[in-house]
């Protein structure tokens, strides 16, 4: 393989002159440039990308830290969909920008993030993205001066972040259910203590209030909890409580699509038809569930892909020198209306 010294010898110039032609960082006479370019073609010389990187501040690399790979069994949990969807969207935007995404997985150990950031810094990554598996607050990270964007999470330091609009998503879903004629709307929530639970519960109550429907605490039950029996028996207990009410709900909203899937099974075992006897709605629009259930599931799109795209665009802007935003960017998604909720 030809080297810069071979090109210099072929063209009858110094290696420094060849470097000037390659990098365009100093004037070179036309005849000299032509001689160097002819030598490059004759020798099929290919400059080292590593050498170019060392001479500049640009590596073309973006580092991403996630737990999606080690958790990538395709299952959804209380936190929602696998964050792999966010990662895929980031990969697409970064590639379209002509950069290379390096992905590191925490292996289920969140405290490895700082160590992985140090590794990316050693490889001269131009920017970093940290992707969480649920809407949560994380401990402050040390990006060592490298631009950093958080996806699906935030910290106390005000690091640029992109978050799902859980409050507006749940409110829009319940508003659409109310518009379909429902007044007794139950809500099986995700576990208490989750940020998504707090925000979506607020959106649920706001939709009721806007429609003039009194809030009934008996209709709100934690549905995705494991008290040593697993989630299905607890769903059965929650359903027992709802069906025992004198004024039973006509629709049950679920904290996510997996919970709705389990609720379908419980209702089927009891001979209760969806939506003829009771309607069901989910949250996430995890299409492996929402589009394959029968009847197809009405749900709210959490828009993980939109979060990933926005996080990547925000990081690329920071790399280009844009000022860091002072507030988190919030990403919403549409209500996906399907046949699991009947019109009253």
Fold of 4-55: 434 Repressor (Amino-terminal Domain) (1.10.260)
pLDDT at 98 over 60: yes
pLDDT class of 141 with cuts at 50, 70, 90: confident
pLDDT confidence of residue 166:
97
- Check for a shared fold between 61-165+304-333 and 166-302: yes
According to the model, what pLDDT value does residue 226 have? 59
Bigger pLDDT: 325 vs 187: 187
With a cut of 80, say whether residue 231 has pLDDT above it. Answer: no
Look up residue 6 and give its two tokens: 């071979």
Top-confidence residue, 216 or 30 = 216
Share of the chain above pLDDT 70, in %: 88
Q: How far apart are the first and last CA of the chain?
A: 76
Q: Tell me if residue 342 falls in helix, strand or coil.
A: coil
Q: 237-287, pLDDT tens digit by residue?
A: 999 999 999 999 999 999 999 999 999 999 999 999 999 999 999 999 999
pLDDT at 24: 67
How high does pLDDT run on average in the chain?
88
Checking if the pLDDT of 25 tops 80, the result is no
User: Is pTM, for the whole model, over 0.85?
Assistant: no
In eight-state DSSP terms, residue 167 is H
User: What pLDDT, on the 0 to 100 scale, is given for residue 298?
Assistant: 98
Query: How far is it, in rounded angstroms, from Cα 271 to Cα 256?
Result: 23
- What H or E segment, with its residue span, contains residue 221? strand 220-222
Q: What angle do CA 274, 280, 286 make, to 5 degrees?
A: 115
The third-level CATH classification (topology) of the domain covering 61-165+304-333 is Rossmann fold (3.40.50)
pLDDT at 234: 81
Q: What is the mean pLDDT of residues 75-83?
A: 53
Average pLDDT over residues 4-21: 86
pLDDT at 122: 81
> Going by CATH, does the domain composed of 166-302 fall within 3.40.50.2300?
yes
Written as one string, the DSSP assignment of 18-82 is HHHHHH--S---HHHHHHHHHHHHHHT----HHHHHHHSS---EEEEEESTTTT-SS--BTTBS-
Q: Taking 70 as the threshold, does the pLDDT of residue 206 lie above it? A: yes
Segments making up each domain of the chain, as ranges: 4-55, 61-165+304-333, 166-302
């Amino acid at each position: 393989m030809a080297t810069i010294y071979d090109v210099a010898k072929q063209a009858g110039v110094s290696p420094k002159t060849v470097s000037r032609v390659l990098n365009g960082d100093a004037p070179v006479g036309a005849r000299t440039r032509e001689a160097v370019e002819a030598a490059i073609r004759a020798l099929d010389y290919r400059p080292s990308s590593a050498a170019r990187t060392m001479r500049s501040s640009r590596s073309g690399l973006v580092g991403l830290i996630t737990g999606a790979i080690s958790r990538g069994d395709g299952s959804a949990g209380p936190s929602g969909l696998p964050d792999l969807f966010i990662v895929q969207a980031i990969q697409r935007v970064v590639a379209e920008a002509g950069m290379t995404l390096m992905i590191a997985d925490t292996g289920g150990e969140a405290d490895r993030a700082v160590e992985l950031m140090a590794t990316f810094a050693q490889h001269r990554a131009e920017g970093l993205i940290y992707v969480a598996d649920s809407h949560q607050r994380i401990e402050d990270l040390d990006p060592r001066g490298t631009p950093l964007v958080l996806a699906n999470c935030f910290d106390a330091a005000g690091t640029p972040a992109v978050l799902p609009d859980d409050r507006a998503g749940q409110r829009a879903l319940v508003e659409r259910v109310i518009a379909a004629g429902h007044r007794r709307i139950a809500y099986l929530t995700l576990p208490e203590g989750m940020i998504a639970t707090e925000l979506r519960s607020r959106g649920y109550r706001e939709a009721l209030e806007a429609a003039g429907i009194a809030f009934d605490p008996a209709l709100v039950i934690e549905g995705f909890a494991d008290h040593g029996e697993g989630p299905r028996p607890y769903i059965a207990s929650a359903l027992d409580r709802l069906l025992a009410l004198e004024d039973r709900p006509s629709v049950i909203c679920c904290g996510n699509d997996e919970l709705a899937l389990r609720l379908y099974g419980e209702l089927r075992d009891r001979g209760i038809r969806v939506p003829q006897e009771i309607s069901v709605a989910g949250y996430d629009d995890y299409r492996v569930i929402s589009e394959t259930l029968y009847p197809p599931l009405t749900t709210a799109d959490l828009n993980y892909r939109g979060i990933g795209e926005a996080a990547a665009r925000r990081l690329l802007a920071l790399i280009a020198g844009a000022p860091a935003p002072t507030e988190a960017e919030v990403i919403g998604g549409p209500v996906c209306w399907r046949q699991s909720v009947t019109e009253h």
